[in-house]
Amino acid sequence: MNSKPHVVYVVNQDWFFLSHRLPVARAARRVGARVTVIAADSGRAEAIRAEGLDFVRLPLSRRGANPVGEVWALSRLLRLYRRLQPDLIHHVTLKPVLYGSLAARLVSHAAVVNAVAGFGYSLTSTELRARLIRPLVKQLCRVALRHPRSQTIFQNPEDRDDFIRMGLVPPAQAVLIRGSGVNCSVFRPTPHPDGDPIVVLASRMLWDKGVPEFVAAAALARTRGVRARFVLVGAPDPGNPRAIPVPRLEAWSREGVVEWWGPSDNMADVLSRASVAVLPTVYGEGIPKVLLEAAASGRPIVATDVRGCREIVRPGVNGILVRPHDRVALANAMTTLVESPELRRRFGQAGRDLAVREFTEELVVSRTLDVYSDLLGERWPR
C-alpha cells in the first residue's frame, strides 16, 4: 500500500481551483500527500498538472437543468471514488459538496472536508426555481454535512451559525476559516497612479455582483461632475444563469459611463492601477477574494452590507458599506473616496494591516491542514 495519503479536490471549475484552492493543495503535496483534482476543464487542466497534481475531467453544470446530466455526474463521481480510493476528499462549493458527499457515503471510506463559500443561488435567490428546489437542497445538505468523518468549513460566522440553526450541520463538525486567503507578497501597496482616480469593480460579470448598480452609480457620479474613471474587470460566466451578456457589457462601455477591460489574469496589476475597489454584490458571499486582494494592495473598499463583505470591510476604518441595490448610496460612497486622497490613503493602510493580520494565505493553509490532520490522525504526515 502506498504510504502517502491521497487527497482529492472536487471543484466546479479548474480555474476556480487555481484561484482559490491551489495554495492548500501545494501545501498538502509538500508534506507528502498525493493530490488529485476533479473539475470541469475550461482549458486550465495543464496548469494544474504542471503543479505536479493529477487532474480528472468532470463537467459539473451549475444550472442543474438537465436531470440526465445530474445523474451522470453523480454516477461518475461514484466510479471515480471507487477507483481512486482517496484518504480524504475536499469538496468545494455547494454542488460538489452535495453530490460528492453522497458518493463518498456510498462507495468510499475517505474522510470528507466540505467547503461552503456562501449560501449560493439555491438558498438565497427569490426566483421561483430556487424557491422550489430549496427544500430538497436543505435535505441534501442534512445528509451531506452529517457524514460521520467530516468537517464543514465556513468562511464567515453568519453562514456557519445559520447552517447550524437550520440543522444542516452539527456544531461539532462546523469549522470557521475566514476566506481563501491572500498572498500578501504578491498583493502589496503601490503608489496611487497619477491622473483621474480609477474606480474598479473586478468580479465575474454577473447581475448579482451588483454590476448594473455600479453602472448606474457611475452615471450618477458623472452627472455631479465627479472626475474619475469607472472600470469593470472580468468576464461573464457562461455556466451561471445570472451571467451578463457580452453585448450588454459592450453597450455600457460604448455609452462611455464605464469602461469594460474584460478578464484579467493579473489582478495585482489591475489593483495597482486602481484608486478604489468596489463590490456591490447583492447576495451573501463567503468572503470575496477580490476584497482581500484589494485590502492587501492598500486600496480602500466600497462594498454592500452583506455577509462576507462585512468580514473584510470595517466601516470608517478601511472602507464603506452601503445597502444592497442602493445606487445613490453607492454613488455617494465612491464620490467620497474619489474626492479625498487622504481618506483613500488612510483606509488603504488600515486595509493592508487587516489583511496581513487576519487573512493571509499562510494562515488559511495552516488551518486547513489542521482540519486534514484532525480527520486523518496518524495517516496525515507531521
Tens digits of residue pLDDT in 306-315: 999 999 999 9
Indicate the pLDDT class of residue 119, thresholds 50, 70 and 90: low
Residue 24 has, within 13 A of its CA and on its CB side, a CA count of 28
- Number of domains comprising the chain: 2
Q: 203 is in which domain, residue-wise?
A: 198-358
- Average pLDDT, integer, range 197-222: 97
118 vs 234, residue with greater confidence: 234
**Does 80 share its domain with 49?**
yes
The amino acid at residue 94 is: L
- Average pLDDT, integer, range 124-142: 70
**Does 112 share its domain with 232?**
no
Which residues are bridge partners to 116 per DSSP? 154
CATH number where 101 lies: 3.40.50.2000
**Cell numbers of 41, please?**
476543464
**Does 214 share its domain with 348?**
yes
Would 109 be classed as within a structural domain? Answer: yes
Cα angle, residue 148 at apex, residues 143 and 149 outer, rounded to 5°:
120
Would 188 be classed as within a structural domain? Answer: no
Indicate the pLDDT class of residue 120, thresholds 50, 70 and 90: low
**Does 364 share its domain with 351?**
no
Residue from 156, 128, 193 nearest 358 by CA: 156
Query: What is the average pLDDT score of the chain?
Result: 92
pLDDT at 261: 97
Indicate the pLDDT class of residue 72, thresholds 50, 70 and 90: confident
Query: Taking a C-beta distance cutoff of 8 angstroms, is the pair 348, 355 a contact?
Result: no
**144 has pLDDT over 50:** yes
- Average pLDDT, integer, range 40-56: 96
Lowest mean pLDDT among 50-54, 284-288, 357-361: 284-288
Determine what percent of the chain is predicted with pLDDT higher than 90: 80
**Does 227 share its domain with 326?**
yes
Would 39 be classed as within a structural domain? Answer: yes
**Does 44 share its domain with 142?**
yes
Indicate the pLDDT class of residue 380, thresholds 50, 70 and 90: very high
pLDDT at 63: 56
Would 270 be classed as within a structural domain? Answer: yes
Helix axes 341-358 and 289-296, enclosed angle (nearest 10): 110
Would 290 be classed as within a structural domain? Answer: yes
**Does 351 share its domain with 317?**
yes
CB atoms within 10 A of CB 267: 20
Residue from 311, 292, 291, 293 nearest 302 by CA: 291
66 vs 256, residue with greater confidence: 256
H-state helical runs in the chain: 14-20, 22-30, 45-49, 67-84, 94-107, 121-124, 128-144, 157-165, 211-223, 246-255, 267-273, 289-296, 309-312, 327-338, 341-358, 361-376
CA distance 131 to 222: 38
**255 has pLDDT over 60:** yes
**Does 172 share its domain with 280?**
no
- Average pLDDT, integer, range 214-243: 93
Would 192 be classed as within a structural domain? Answer: no
Would 275 be classed as within a structural domain? Answer: yes
CA distance 178 to 173: 16
**Cell numbers of 127, please?**
426566483
The amino acid at residue 236 is: P
**249 has pLDDT over 90:** yes
Would 186 be classed as within a structural domain? Answer: no
Query: Taking a C-beta distance cutoff of 8 angstroms, is the pair 354, 312 a contact?
Result: yes
- Average pLDDT, integer, range 172-195: 95
**Does 301 share its domain with 365?**
no
pLDDT at 1: 41
- Average pLDDT, integer, range 42-49: 95
Cα angle, residue 90 at apex, residues 10 and 311 outer, rounded to 5°:
105
Convert the pLDDT of each residue in 73-114 to its tens digit.
889 999 999 999 999 999 998 889 989 999 999 988 999 999
Q: Is 271 exposed, middle or buried (0-12, 13-18, 19+ CB in 10 A)?
A: buried
**Does 150 share its domain with 205?**
no
Which residues are bridge partners to 199 per DSSP? 230, 276
pLDDT at 123: 62
**Does 338 share its domain with 264?**
yes
pLDDT at 121: 57
Cα 153 to Cα 81, 92, 93, 323, 372, distances in angstroms:
21, 10, 11, 27, 11
**Does 165 share its domain with 204?**
no
Convert the pLDDT of each residue in 300-347 to its tens digit.
999 999 999 999 999 999 999 999 999 999 999 999 999 999 999 999
Q: Is 108 exposed, middle or buried (0-12, 13-18, 19+ CB in 10 A)?
A: buried
